[in-house]
């Protein structure tokens, strides 16, 4: 990872998503010590179009035209191993010797699009859907429903309480308070969490990530073509197998590092329960022990043994679909996280995206 970049991020920015994309892309390219003419590959998720308003703001062809990039390889689509599957594809292309520098990007403008076009649920009701949706649509089943089912089952099997699980949202908010790019930075208390609007029992408002406008970009480079002085975050291993546990097992099988070596975790938090499931799948705590592990929040604070979602995650930082958490991991590993920098700069971080069979995980190491 030779360069990283992020555009302005916020709610209802009403900025053209191509502008957001260009801002992030040019920042990442400059951070890598490169120019657009050096980029010979592009990779994104989910491409130029998808099913709900603002879920994507630019595709490969858009960026190729915007920046005048001449590609030898490109990739973009929705059926990947998680949103960070676009980065895994870039790693493979670079490692295969097809390209030297791949620009990976992810742009969303959901909050503005919902103002202009309509909500996600309203729009999905008007478009063609998968055949399997006939069994759920009639009952009003949506993403929060699935999150609630996972959370209900987890609480039943583990004995976890809402007070324990609340630490995911509370910790994200505490870290977001130190992140000037986070969208929700005001204090959040346990009372606020427990009294919040219930979305789908036991998922409350603060268990749900927040739609935003913004773009994040990375440059993946061959180690022998990396400009001197660039960021140089290393990829130790990745997991792309279907299923969170299978994904983690694959990742750990491809490295001599172990869960005990991980010094920070940037885990997908579309709903707070997803982070709980990732903590256990990755072996960062014992099975059905995540609620006890995070109880009180000390272990996952910036000063704890496993700092978690150090920029506020998607719950408070904004829904940047895994790319935001990857960006925060790179900042921490390079010592550039400012006020929220972990003491004793970490050397190993794990990042995840997605849930269920739509999942991926990557193990990152600090540049030497």
Neighbours of 152 (CB within 10 A): 15
Q: What is the pLDDT of residue 120?
A: 56
Residue whose token pair is 């994200």: 172
Instruction: State the average pLDDT over residues 144-159.
Output: 97
Instruction: State the average pLDDT over residues 125-133.
Output: 60
* More reliable by pLDDT, 225 or 81: 81
Q: Which residues are CB-contacts of 104 (< 8 A; sequence separation ≥ 6)? A: 42, 43, 44, 86, 87, 90, 217, 218, 219, 220
- Asked whether the predicted pLDDT for residue 148 surpasses 90, the reply is yes
Residue burial 4-39, b: 16+ Cβ < 10 Å; e: rest: bbbbebbbbbebebbbbbbbbbbbbbebbbbebebb
**Across the chain, what does the average pLDDT equal?**
94
pLDDT (tens digit per residue) in 39-89: 999 999 999 988 788 999 999 999 999 999 999 999 999 999 999 999 999
* CA 353-272-308 angle, 5° bins: 70
- Can you tell me the distance from the alpha carbon of 307 to that of 226, in angstroms, rounded to the nearest whole number? 29
- Can you tell me the distance from the alpha carbon of 236 to that of 348, in angstroms, rounded to the nearest whole number? 9
Instruction: State the average pLDDT over residues 154-172.
Output: 98
Give which of 307, 326, 304, 330 is closest to 317, Cα–Cα: 326
Q: Which letter does DSSP use for residue 335 in this model?
A: T
Find out whether the peptide bond into 46 is cis, omega within 30 degrees of 0. Answer: yes
pLDDT (tens digit per residue) in 258-315: 999 999 999 999 999 999 999 999 999 999 999 999 999 999 999 999 999 999 999 9
| Residue 230's pLDDT band (cuts 50, 70, 90) | confident
| Residue 137's pLDDT band (cuts 50, 70, 90) | confident
Contact assessment for residue 349 and residue 333, using Cβ atoms and an 8 Å cutoff: yes
Residue whose token pair is 């930082």: 317
Q: What is the pLDDT of residue 115?
A: 83
Q: Which two tokens stand for residue 178?
A: 């130190």
pTM of the model: 0.95
Question: Residue 253 CA to chain centroid, in angstroms?
Answer: 23
- Can you tell me the distance from the alpha carbon of 240 to that of 244, in angstroms, rounded to the nearest whole number? 9
Q: Which two tokens stand for residue 352?
A: 């995840």
* More reliable by pLDDT, 49 or 130: 49
pLDDT (tens digit per residue) in 316-352: 999 999 999 999 999 999 999 999 999 989 999 999 9
Q: Which two tokens stand for residue 111?
A: 């909050």
Find out whether the peptide bond into 202 is cis, omega within 30 degrees of 0. Answer: yes
Domains and CATH numbers, the chain: 3-117+213-232 (3.40.47.10), 142-207+239-365 (3.40.47.10)
pLDDT (tens digit per residue) in 87-109: 999 999 999 999 999 999 999 99
Angle subtended by helix axes 272-281 and 162-176, to nearest 10: 100
- Asked whether the predicted pLDDT for residue 133 surpasses 90, the reply is no
- Can you tell me the distance from the alpha carbon of 247 to that of 275, in angstroms, rounded to the nearest whole number? 15
Least confident of 27-36, 44-53, 185-194, 324-333: 44-53
State residue 196 phi and psi, 5-degree precision.
Answer: -70, 160
Q: What is the pLDDT of residue 138?
A: 76
Q: What is the pLDDT of residue 124?
A: 47
Contact assessment for residue 217 and residue 226, using Cβ atoms and an 8 Å cutoff: no
- Torsion over CA of 328, 32, 222 and 104, rounded to 10 degrees? 60
- Asked whether the predicted pLDDT for residue 367 surpasses 80, the reply is no
Instruction: State the average pLDDT over residues 209-221.
Output: 97
């Amino acid at each position: 990872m030779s360069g990283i970049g992020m555009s302005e991020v916020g709610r209802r920015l009403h900025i053209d998503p191509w502008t957001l994309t260009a801002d992030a892309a040019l920042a990442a390219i400059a951070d890598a010590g490169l120019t657009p003419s050096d980029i010979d590959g592009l990779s994104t998720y989910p491409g130029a179009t998808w099913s709900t308003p603002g879920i994507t703001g630019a595709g490969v062809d858009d960026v190729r035209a915007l920046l005048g990039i001449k590609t030898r390889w490109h990739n973009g689509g929705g059926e990947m191993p998680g949103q960070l599957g676009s980065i895994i594809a870039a790693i493979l292309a670079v490692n295969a010797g097809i390209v030297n520098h791949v620009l990976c990007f992810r742009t969303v403008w959901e909050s503005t699009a919902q103002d202009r076009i309509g909500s996600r649920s309203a729009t999905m009701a008007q478009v063609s859907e998968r055949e399997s949706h006939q069994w759920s649509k009639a009952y009003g089943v949506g993403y929060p429903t699935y999150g609630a089912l996972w959370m209900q089952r987890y609480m039943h099997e583990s004995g976890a309480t809402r007070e324990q699980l609340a630490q995911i949202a509370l910790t994200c908010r505490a870290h977001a308070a130190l992140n000037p790019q986070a969208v929700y930075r005001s204090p959040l208390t346990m009372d606020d969490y427990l009294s919040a609007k219930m979305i789908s029992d036991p998922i409350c408002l603060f268990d749900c990530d927040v739609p935003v406008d913004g773009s994040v970009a990375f440059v993946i480079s061959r180690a022998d073509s990396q400009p001197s002085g660039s960021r140089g975050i290393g990829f130790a291993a990745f997991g792309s197998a279907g299923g969170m546990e299978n994904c983690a097992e694959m990742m750990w099988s491809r490295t001599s590092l172990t869960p005990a070596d991980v010094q920070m975790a940037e885990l997908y938090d579309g709903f707070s329960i997803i982070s709980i499931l990732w903590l256990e799948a990755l072996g960062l705590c014992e099975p059905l022990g995540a609620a006890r592990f995070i109880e009180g929040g000390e272990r996952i604070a910036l000063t704890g043994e496993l700092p978690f979602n150090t920029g506020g995650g998607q719950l408070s930082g904004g829904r940047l679909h895994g790319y935001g958490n990857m960006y925060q991991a790179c900042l921490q590993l390079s010592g550039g996280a400012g006020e929220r920098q972990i003491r004793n700069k970490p050397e190993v971080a794990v990042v995840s995206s997605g849930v269920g069979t739509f999942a991926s995980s990557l193990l990152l190491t600090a540049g030497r």
